[in-house]
Structure 1
Amino acid sequence: MKYLQLSFCVCVLFVASLTAQNKQITLEEIWNGTFRTERMDVLHSMANGQQYSVFNFDRSTRSTSIDIYDYKTLEKVTTLVDSRNISELNYFTNYTFSEDETKVLLATNEESIYRHSVLGNYFVYNVKDQSVVSVSDERIQEPTFSPDGSKVAYVFNNNIYVKDLTSGATTQVTTDGVKNKIINGITDWVYEEEFAFVRAFEWNADGTKIAFIRFDETNVPEFSMDVYGESLYPTQQVFKYPKAGEANSLVSLHLYDLDTKAIEAVKVNKEYNDFYIPRIKWTNDANVLSAHYLNRKQNALDLWLIDADKNTSSLVLAETDKAYVDVTDNLTFLKDNSFIWTSEKDGYNHIYHYSKKGELINQVTTGNWEVTAYYGYDEKSDRIFYQSVENGSINRDVYSVKLNGRSKKRLSQAVGTNNADFSADFSYFINTFSNTTTPPVYTLNKASTGDVIKNIKDNKALVQQLSDYTISAKEFSTINVNGNDLNMWMIKPANFDASKEYPVLMFQYSGPGSQQVANTWSSYNDYWYQHLAQKGYIIACVDGRGTGYKGAAFKKVTYEQLGKYEVEDQISAAKQLAALPYVDATRIGIWGWSFGGFMSSNCLFKGNDVFKMAIAVAPVTSWRFYDTVYTERYNGLPQDNASGYDDNSPINHVNKLQGDFLLVHGSADDNVHVQNTMRLVESLVQADKQFDWAIYPDKNHGIYGGNTRLHLYKKMTNFLNENLGDKL
């Protein structure tokens, strides 16, 4: 694979200049921001297509601003909003423009609820007269401008409200919202986590109607977490969490008419017994709403068009799959209400163009490669802009193509990971590029040719800073495992000597459609791997079967056997690594977080003849403990596939443990509940297996806050040194 060879050569050249230095990376530096990269935050292309806005934070004054820049010159045109000039707030943390950009929603006092959801206080800033109006005295969720900017809809206490910015009057749209029972306009926990959206309401094109999803959680089982806090008695967080095979929320789609104030339930011409509504979106016609309906098994996805005036519906597209159909945000309606859609139906994720009646006009992209991001369609040039892995599955490039599938052009130039943010009129795009040797570089490019107009940010200061440190190359290659060429990277000590034997730590995640072997800039974990390489470890990562960007068959082979083939690939890869002359076969370990923790646990138990130790952070230990949407998508219902659940869950293989095992969890993990670890611990105890474990009080799935992350990585490093690095 030529791209792998090229990347490796670049790595070697880069490292040759760096390894002349000998400063060592410390754990404290990794987690105190020493290696922080400069980024462009909350980038928004202005409607004129010639300017863009950026969110800026001034650390010295603790103030925030929205600054406007010119695409052509990259010079700052003006500061549109400065928190120092707004007496009603100290600073804001996010912003959203109205469609005509005369008003801006400013977010303050934001508090995370779950992965995506937040509560906050919000203000509307009027650009013309600099006036500021509070949307609500309460902390609310998902405030959203009407198309003309005259109103803001939001959710408070599970009910939808609309504030008229002209009169100041607020109308309560729904009244039946009750915590842990009824939610209007906001998703329940499992939708937020697995369908990755929070706001479940949408304005139509002329602002006369709001479509919203209602969630009836009444029959969903409750999950409770102790919150220890600092008081004499702990409290409990109680929320609805549907575990695999259990009852989901009953969902229904509704339309609210702002003129009549009437709410009407949407009817579709099909009987659905147990289903999801993972997306709703208005078309360009103010009276036509689109909605995705997905069956519980998630192998049949229907796209419906609903006439909001007549409350009639028509099925325009039906996607089916032997395994599952992925839900995306790529649906785009053109002016004639024909639409662009992405699908894996030919075996790879590609772009399709359909008429407004759902008739296939043409398949826009084709080939044995995946479209990884859809950026949009420019009517003026009749071009679709997208990202793909056509240049190798570990790389990302930006392309354009005519709507008819012709005249495809690669717009990005450097080999690595490219991502584009286009101007509103598709004249320009800001390209973010990085690879394993280049931290993020932001450039302004012509959308028509991809030519670089100017550099914006390049993180040269970080490159210069890192030149003082001993940095090892991340070497890309492929490894043939169980009949498949799998992508792999390896980091060796900078003073690597092929005549010596080294301990190996394998890292993986391995979840469906994921990727860890990617030609992109370092994450915090990469700095930890550099720290370990300095101590004499080899670190390796292999993306096995079930991971993404190599076609649907490669990804979906794990269906109904989640964890079987993934574990087999990691064990087989470890055995191949053990056979290398410079690897100490008696000192191979593996670690992972979340799905990766599930994997590392299983690998240690089932691969006890090759793995000496494992670290599992926040692992699923039985698929019966995890949520409906995720688990059933990949494993079916437990009632139909008991063996697929139990045969591949670590909790059922504890008797095979022979090596050293560190188990870590946050007690307030709302995603992968600490129940997983507690039940695994009990099973290990009853099997008389010794192990180490740590619980981080009141920490969620990310296990962070204050000194927590540093403490965790010190613990993992010490465990490695004691059990894998004993000969170093």
Structure 2
Amino acid sequence: MIKSWKVLSLAWIVMIGMAHSTHAQSLKKVSLEDVFKKGTFSQKSVYGINWMKDGQFYSSQVERNGAPAVLKINVSTGAEAGVLLDGRALGVSFSSYSFNADESKALIATDVESIYRRSSKGVFYVVDMATGQKQQLMNGEKISYATLSPDNDKVAFVKENNLYMVELASNKLTQITKDGEWNKIINGAADWVYEEEFSMAQAFKWSPDGKKIAFIRFDETQVPEFNMQIWGSLYPQDYKFKYPKAGEKNALVSIHVYDLVNGKTQKVDVGSETDIYLPRIYWTKDANQLAFIRLNRLQNQLDLFHANAISGESKLIISETSKTYVDLDYNDDLQYLSDGKTFIRTSEQDGFKHIYHHNLDGSLIRQITTGNWEVTAMVGVDEKARKLYFISTEASPLERNFYVINLDGKGKKILTPSKGTHTINMSPDHKFFIDYYSTTDTPVKVTFNESSGKEIKVLEDNQALKERLSGFALGKKEFFTFPTVDGSMLNGYIIKPADFDPNKKYPVLMYVYGGPGSQNVLNSWGGTRDFWHQQLAAEGIIVACVDNRGTGARGRDFKHSTYANLGKLETIDQIEGAKYFAKMPFVDPARIGIWGWSYGGYMSSLALMKGNDVFKTAIAVAPVTTWRYYDTIYTERYLQTPQLNAAGYDDNSPITNVNMLKGNFLLIHGTGDDNVHFQNSVDLVNALISADKQFETFYYPNRNHGISGGNTTWHLYTQMTDFLKRKL
């Protein structure tokens, strides 16, 4: 009996092994068509959610019967409780919506046209929620940033660089500014560089009582113009726009307050220095008190002011300075509390981004969060319960979890303990939140939760995608750390082929971005680019990534280590990463490549040049090739001006280092890139020709920095895949 059992067991084991082998062979390889044509790996989510005022419902935009609709959803059950907006009934195929404070009116937009990254214009309607009647603004002319007043009876917007207001009852139009002019004066909207680098497009705000509008005015008369040619006609057209390159003149900015009662506009005192930035305006709880942030040109001093909206007089409340720079992103969570006496803000002044509570005069009440970790988002302040909700990296720089803490800094509690990345949308009454949760292995799961963290309902689990994924041979994203030359531990990941054989020698393709404060190594679900990497892994290429010094979620000192020398330490770390992989027994050290986009294209170019003994191949997509060609706000924050730090601009420019190129280089750019101009690649090509270096290059006519539209994405990634197969 025992012998026969052993024989049967051995036979069973062999059968299991054969079954596993057969199963592995039956799994499909990821194809380019799956990633870019079929949308095989596209995940679902829950979009357009807006919490409603009573806390018992939220609204969500969906497609219904071929038209957009906004549904009213019961918070406790998740059941549909009615249709709030019906595009079919309204006769408007709207793409976005918003309600005013009492939900008596809705603002919807259609025929929206993108301008740059965040700016747009479209046709707007105001819908009376009681009657269902719609009112078209400006007779259907395209306008920007239409915003309902807090008292519900007016809408402000920007058209052709001027600020307007319309009274809904009478349809009376008031043109608040009249000096707006293309490439000269902008009122109530940001210029190109503010939009790109300060993440703002709308530059006006209603006062809490709806009786004033504060706005920023940009005088870009002296800002140099950049000219792009638009191809496609017999004579290519010129597109000229104001773009301040590093060291050049910025727009002169000022803050103004329009008083609806007397029709007068008051200029706010922002100081005598004119070479400054005014990236934020806020209203305090006092309808006559404005707040604003001022940055100096080098961005190493950030000042918070309070201003009298009637007289324009201002008072300095807080001033923060740094030997490097004060990052606006880390000081951008200003919230005035309803007590009218205090406010909450964030700062990285102690070395990590944390939350601070201040009196209205700026004096510190207390630092609410502390520790060698970062608050990545302040989600909400429950003033009645004296609690504050935030997302942080406390568990790990690779994770994002949701926490609650008392305003006195005590009682901190994690609300989303699952490892991975949590993005939170919390109700205004702080009773519920929607959690968008994912890991590298799990697509986004959207859940509806009580503020205690208790899950009430799953809104989306992407089960269909999980089932599709089970049919594919996918490599697992494995995280690791390794020490770079100064002893700093760097985070990375590696994706091996699903049929990985440790006895084989594989090529490695490193993926890099690497810019200040960025992060690629994160325990979250990836997008299209991640699945392209899976496709490469299916072709036998190991894909890896290293977050170099200067990247985010590791504290101020780690992030600021690259200050005044962009490219130097980052390139060293990528080269060290390549050496780390080269020592692995299953890696072919003669076939290591690197690719990146934008800052990543800058990095991949430099890495191939400075690391020519380690890297064989590089792809650079839309790269910065000299920081002299990039904009003032971003570049000078990290490098100062070219006049003050010429070596910081030139020593680590790929153009300066072309003589070091040895390997295979593919350079790709869109000619219509308004961000990282095609000029960067043109001048690098010239330098490579002068240095007698052979390379491959490809340009995409009229495509912007994202290089997309129509068949473009498919063409781009097919081209890069073919290049890697040939050269790596």
Q: TM-score range by the shorter chain?
A: over 0.9
Residue matched to 2:229: 226
Is the CA contact (8 Å cut-off) linking 2:517 and 2:553 kept in structure 1? yes
Please give the TM-score of this superposition, normalised by the length of structure 2: 0.95
* 8 Å Cα contact 1:18-1:470 kept in structure 2: no
Q: Counterpart amino acid of 1:66?
A: V
Match of 1:129 in 2: 131
| Mapped partners of 1:465, 1:53: distance in 2 | 30
Secondary structure of the structure 2 residue equivalent to 1:306: strand
In the TM superposition, residue 336 of structure 1 has moved relative to its aligned partner by 2.5
Q: Contact (CA 8 Å) 1:18, 1:467: kept in 2 or not?
A: no
Partner of 2:319: 318
Is the counterpart of residue 145 in structure 1 residue 148 in structure 2? yes
State yes or no: 1:27 paired with 2:63: no
The structural deviation recorded for 1:16 is 12
In the alignment, structure 1 residue 44 sits paired with structure 2 residue 45: no
Q: Is the 8 A contact 2:266 2:309 kept in 1?
A: no
Q: 1:251 aligns with which of 246, 250, 253?
A: 253
Please report how far the alpha carbon of residue 21 of structure 1 lies from its aligned counterpart in structure 2 after TM superposition. Answer: 4.5
Unaligned runs of 5+ in 2: 1-19
The answer to whether residue 220 in structure 2 is matched with residue 214 in structure 1 is no
Identity value in percent: 50
Number of the residue aligned with 2:653? 649
Give the conservation status (yes or no) of the 8 Å contact 1:621–1:676: yes
Query: How far is the alpha carbon of 1:271 from its aligned partner?
Result: 3.0
Q: Counterparts of 2:215 and 2:190 in 1: how far apart (Å)?
A: 10
Alignment partner, residue 12 of structure 2: none
- Aligned match of 2:281: 280
Cα distance change, pair 55–20 in 1 and its aligned pair in 2 (3 A): farther
Q: Which runs of 5+ in 1 are unaligned?
A: 1-14
Alignment of 1:324-363 (within 5 A): 324-328=325-329, 329-337=332-340, 338-363=342-367
TM-score using structure 1 length: 0.95
**Structure 1 outlier segments of 4+, above 4 Å:** 15-21
User: After the TM superposition, which residues 279-428 of structure 1 pair with which residues of structure 2 at under 5 Å, given as runs?
Assistant: 279-328=280-329, 329-337=332-340, 338-428=342-432
1:456 Cα deviation from its structure 2 partner: 1.3
1:590 counterpart residue number: 594
Partner of 1:517: 521
Partner of 1:192: 195
1:17 CA drift (Å): 13
SS in 1 for 2:48: strand
- The one-letter code of the counterpart of 1:524 is T
Q: Which residue of 1 aligns with 2:13?
A: none
Q: For CA contacts below 8 A with separation 6 or more, give which structure has more relative contact order.
A: 1
* Matched residue type, 1:415: K
Residue of structure 2 in register with 1:7 after alignment: none
What residue is the counterpart of 2:704 in the other structure?
700
2:24 and 2:114 map into 1 onto residues whose CA distance is: 41
Contact 1:52 1:70 in 2 (8 A): yes
What is the CA deviation profile of residues 687-713 of structure 1, one whole-angstrom value per residue up to 9, with x for unaligned ones?
111100110011000000111001000
Matched-pair contact (CA < 8 Å) for 2:229–2:238:
yes
Secondary structure of 2:388's counterpart equals strand
The question of 1:170 aligning with 2:180 is answered no
Asked whether the 8 Å contact 2:669–2:698 carries over to 1, the reply is: yes
Question: Deviation of residue 309 (structure 1)?
Answer: 2.2
Aligned to 1:125, the other structure's residue is in SS state strand
Indicate if the aligned counterparts of 1:17 and 1:467 stay in contact, CA closer than 8 A.
Answer: no
Letter in 2 for 1:479: F
The structure whose Rg is larger is 2
Alpha-carbon distance between aligned partners in 2 of 1:688 and 1:94, rounded to the nearest angstrom: 53
Amino acid at match of 2:463: K
Look up the SS of the partner of 2:689 in the other structure.
Answer: helix
Question: How far did residue 584 of structure 1 move?
Answer: 0.3
8 Å CA contact 2:252–2:274 kept in 1: the answer is no
Matched, 1:545 2:544: no
Give 1:540 deviation, angstroms: 0.4
Q: Say whether the 8 Å CA contact 1:19–1:469 is kept in structure 2.
A: no
CA RMSD of aligned residues (A): 1.3
The aligned counterpart of 2:164 is 161
Matched-pair contact (CA < 8 Å) for 1:593–1:616: yes
| Cα separation, 1, equivalents of 2:245 and 2:28 | 48
Q: Distance in 2 between matches of 1:40 and 1:671?
A: 31
Identify the residue that residue 266 of structure 2 maps to in structure 1.
264
Aligned match for 1:610, one of 600, 610, 614: 614
SS in 2 for 1:718: helix
Q: Does 1:110 align with 2:115?
A: no
- Please name the residue that 2:457 is paired with: 454
- The Cα shift of 1:213 comes to 0.5
Shift of 1:514: 0.4
Q: Pick which of 573-582 and 357-366 moved more.
A: 573-582
After superposition, residues 490-569 of structure 1 pair within 5 angstroms as 490-569=494-573
Shift of 1:86: 1.2
Aligned to 1:12: none
Deviations 1:653-704 (A, max 9, x none): 0111100000000010000000000000011011111100110011000000
Aligned to 2:448: 444
Separation of aligned partners in 1, 2:234 and 2:365:
66
Equivalences, count: 703
Q: Output one character per residue of 1:53-109: Cα deviation in whole Å (capped at 9) or x when no partner.
A: 111124xx431111111111001111100110013x2x1111111111111111101
Change (3 A) 1:313 1:474: same
Provide Cα deviations, 1:29-69, integer angstroms capped at 9, x if missing partner: 212322211111121111111211111124xx431111111
> Would you say the 8 A contact 1:306–1:314 is kept in 2?
yes
Structure 2 counterpart of 1:669: 673
